[in-house]
Structure 1
Amino acid sequence: MPEQSIPSLVQAQFDEFPYPNVPIEQTVTDNSALFANSITTARYLRERKVVDPAGKLMLNAGCGSGWETLVLATANPGAHYIGVDISAESIKMAQQRFQFHQIEDVRFEVMDITDMTSLGEQFDFIACNDVLYLLDDPVAGLRGMRQVLKPDGIIRTNVHSLYQRQFIFHMQDAMELLGVMDEPASKAVPILRELMDALHEGSFVKSHWNGDAIKTTTGILANFLLRSDKGFTVPQVFEMLRQAELEFVSMVNWQQWKLERVLNKPVPYAMRSIKKLSQEELLHFIELIFPNMTRLIDFWCGHPSGATPPQPFSHEEWWNGSVQAHPLLLRLNARAAFENAIRDNGPVNINGWPGAEGNISVDPFSVRWLIEAFGEKPVPVQALVVQAMELMDWTQEEAFNQVLANLKFLEERLVLLLNSPFR
């Protein structure tokens, strides 16, 4: 095994305080985390194909206390799971967590993520959350994951944003000057808390000292006293992927990275130049003009495929295809909301869905034929068209046009997924 890429002080910090410090008995309710760590989400975005997690092999690289592994297991029921981490104390907590939740198809190993070949496995999906920015060589971490990734596998990983987090980095440097970063957490945390409480409100650094979560010991250690923490820009991320021979797939929170999300009115003159930007340049442009948008540059990547991005589904694909709800919506029992809406002759509101900006509303009429798409099995689009025809006495063409408009809207936000017989 090569020399460990995580500095010894970082390892010591996580041995002292395994991260994240989530109670072992807690269950996963964060829909955004489940959405981001679902192989179905990632593969559908890349290929516009529906992939079932059952039987797939999942790796949590840098699993910490096992909370992220539990997220992975909850998001991908029926899969097999392996978690690795450099901290032996964290691995102990991860094992205890899975014993409590009675999930048996999992194993944990103390291991550096830059060389995981000794696992003897190739993975369908790798989740590596809040790890790369701690490595001396993040490219080595990406290469380590690529080594154990199946040809069609996909990686979800992230790094800290240099622009959003710059004032936290300033405080880390200040603590470095005082020698606090070399102290055990039990001593460093009170010193940091004392300084932040005394800091003038006009300081940009103080602006990050808001909210109860960041003032906890866990919050302080994960931010102001996070050893070996580093920030990155979009061009740096793309360069790391090139060096690691990996291909960018999509931002995990891709809806936030849309130009219309950061501009609230048209810019016809600037748009002439914006349209000429590459994907990498456009994402960099967005982070420059909206530097406080996100803490993480959070993305999916995989082996270079040489394939062009999937084209929009044709009318023929829609007509001959079948649709199903995203599996997370089945877990949330979204069908019950449709049943209640039909009973009350009202709309269905899908609030806080990770694939959408804002809330989604389905009108009372569409609810009556869309409900079948929220069952356990895919439903043919033609069957939905027939239901719409019966409800409104439409011609087939009229019904298909109405059904298609609704389905396209929901598919773009990954509420519904299309199974095309031609892909």
Structure 2
Amino acid sequence: MVTTDRRSGDRERIWGDRFGIEMGQYGQGSPGNRLTMANPWPRQDFNPPLPLGLPALALGQLFVNPRMTDPSLLPSPINPADDPLEDPLAKVRAQFDRAPYPRIPLDLLPAETHTYWHDFRTAYYRRNQKIANTEGRLMLDVGCGSGYGVLSMALANPGARIVGVDLSPASVDLAQKRLEHHGLGDRVEFHALAMEELSQLGMEFDYINCDELLYLQPDPADGLAAMKAVLKPDGIIRSNLHSLYQRFDYFKAQSLAHLIGLMDDNPGELEMGILTELMESLKDTTLLKMRIWDSEKMQNEQRVMMNLLFQRDRGFTIPQLFDYIDRSGLEFISMTDWQSWEVTDLFKDPENMPISIAFGLSEAPISDQLHFFDLIRSNHRLLDFWCGHPDAAQPWTALSDWEPEDWHQSRAALHPQLDTPEFAADLKNVVLKGTDLKLDQHLSLKWGWESVSSAIALGLLPLLEGMKTFTELADSLQQLRPVDPVTLEPIARSEVEAALRYLLSELGQAGYLLVELT
């Protein structure tokens, strides 16, 4: 066990306690120094002339210690053994008390993409294809950390009240200071509570955000059930799990840190220093180093702590995610970044994929489609999803499948995160100059359109005034562009409506517009 002082002998204690080694002061050895076993097993007369550098010590001992070949003795962050601690989250609490997460300056405002995912209207529309109002809504951020997520929720949801909870009192204190700094202290409240204690709040919530926490729970299904217990009947939960496949190499690195004793206690500067020295000393062609280590980026303490020395970090698969949702009595709504999970994007020619695969995927449940994608691409660090009470969703049809008569009964609005003075000024300027509208400069979605032509952008102008019906938008577009610029012939109403349907369908399905039936 590593003691709390940080004197030079601590490095010897880490390695000595872990491997049963007697050694001189770390880092002051010479080629003549030797390692000796404090309690050698039979047939282990091992005294090679090794330098006392960290890599030599680790590799030398690993090769001669038969206990290290027994997988049952190696702690695994992926499939952890029963935690002997009375409170299995004690180390997590200690880690975040020491360094609240995320470590973002108090005065920094979140980007528009961050507020997009924290906007209740994004999730509500995805489930119900209806445009919601945030005024008077009650929202909860579970595992609020240093309050950056609560700040995003407060900015993204005008008129809503936000409650933040975290098991780390130090994090809660910093979160309160962050919101007060931005003048939002009157719309938020914070409590030092664990997830299983949510019922103590005595409230029910329209929206619950649980970001970067569920994968730390002993059983994620219990965490989801705790949130379900305080969720309103039509409420929505957003949460996520670390992906086993995308982060597999980081979990290997965490197992390595466990193996050499760096996570026996709460990791600090000493443990980060040892791990950094180890990784820097490895050959650049070492596979693990190639996949996880960037010398420049790993100068960031938070990056090291949250990836390589993260207590109780675990990875999960799509089938596990659906199992947790099912066992908690909730219903899957959608992945939050749904367009980036499109199975057809995996294929060179989606129209000509193997027939058996195309048929199988078309008949497969959404859980199997997502699992298929994750096994092949594995590019999502987080399995980020929305869920809610069963049978709470309103039936709806994808915009691409609407009939012309459906469009005549519809209305549209800009997504609230696009409804800004900057976007309005840019849109007007684009229309006047005939240049492209750079959508990604205002709302950069992973799958979104980088830009649209001025001819398409023309149809968005009326939306700067607020929500408009399809008929109002068609009337406006016909007035703004009455004739064909090539033939100078009047543009038929049917052509105007076809162009408008394309615009609303494409930008609506991408998430830039909200389109609903009246």
Which TM-score bucket, shorter chain as reference?
over 0.9
Alignment-mate amino acid for residue 494 of structure 2: E
Question: How far did residue 181 of structure 1 move?
Answer: 0.5
Task: Tell me whether 1:311 sits opposite 2:397 in the alignment.
Answer: yes
**Partner of residue 395 from structure 1, selected from 492, 505, 514:** 492
Distance (whole Å) between structure 2 residues aligned to residue 196 and residue 396 of structure 1: 66
Alignment-mate amino acid for residue 358 of structure 2: M
Would you say the 8 A contact 2:280–2:295 is kept in 1? Answer: no
Task: Tell me whether 1:327 sits opposite 2:423 in the alignment.
Answer: no
Alignment of 1:8-407 (within 5 A): 8-29=90-111, 31-103=112-184, 104-184=186-266, 185-206=268-289, 207-210=291-294, 212-266=296-350, 267-269=353-355, 270-291=357-378, 293-305=379-391, 310-312=396-398, 313-331=402-420, 333-351=422-440, 353-355=443-445, 357-375=447-465, 377-390=466-479, 391-392=481-482, 393-407=490-504
* Runs of 5+ unmatched residues, structure 2: 1-84, 483-489
Distance (whole Å) between structure 2 residues aligned to residue 389 and residue 188 of structure 1: 67
Alignment-mate amino acid for residue 277 of structure 2: E
Distance 1:402 1:221, change over 3 A: same
Distance (whole Å) between structure 2 residues aligned to residue 79 and residue 330 of structure 1: 18
Distance (whole Å) between structure 2 residues aligned to residue 197 and residue 229 of structure 1: 23
Distance 1:134 1:420, change over 3 A: same
Distance (whole Å) between structure 2 residues aligned to residue 45 and residue 388 of structure 1: 27
Alignment-mate amino acid for residue 227 of structure 1: Q
User: Quick check: 332-341 or 132-141, which moved more?
Assistant: 332-341
Alignment-mate amino acid for residue 146 of structure 2: S
Alignment-mate amino acid for residue 32 of structure 1: T
User: Quick check: 169-178 or 302-311, which moved more?
Assistant: 302-311
State the Cα deviation string for residues 339-372 of structure 1 (Å, max 9, x = none): 1012212232212645562534333233333211
State the Cα deviation string for residues 61-82 of structure 1 (Å, max 9, x = none): 0001111111211221221000
Would you say the 8 A contact 1:323–1:378 is kept in 2? Answer: yes
Question: How far did residue 294 of structure 1 move?
Answer: 1.1
Distance (whole Å) between structure 2 residues aligned to residue 59 and residue 77 of structure 1: 15
Distance (whole Å) between structure 1 residues aligned to residue 88 and residue 212 of structure 2: 13
Distance (whole Å) between structure 2 residues aligned to residue 418 and residue 211 of structure 1: 47
User: Quick check: 326-335 or 128-137, which moved more?
Assistant: 326-335
Distance (whole Å) between structure 1 residues aligned to residue 337 and residue 295 of structure 2: 23
Distance 1:123 1:314, change over 3 A: farther
User: Quick check: 67-76 or 210-219, which moved more?
Assistant: 210-219
Matched with 2:82 is none
Matched with 1:417 is 514
Would you say the 8 A contact 1:5–1:137 is kept in 2? Answer: no
State the Cα deviation string for residues 110-153 of structure 1 (Å, max 9, x = none): 00112311111111111111001111121111111111111111
User: Quick check: 187-196 or 8-17, which moved more?
Assistant: 187-196
Query: Cα RMSD over matched residues?
Result: 2.0
Question: How far did residue 57 of structure 1 move?
Answer: 0.8
Distance 1:382 1:263, change over 3 A: same
| Aligned residues between the structures | 416
Matched with 2:78 is none
- Say which SS state the counterpart of residue 298 (structure 1) adopts: strand
Alignment-mate amino acid for residue 512 of structure 2: V
Distance (whole Å) between structure 2 residues aligned to residue 129 and residue 212 of structure 1: 27
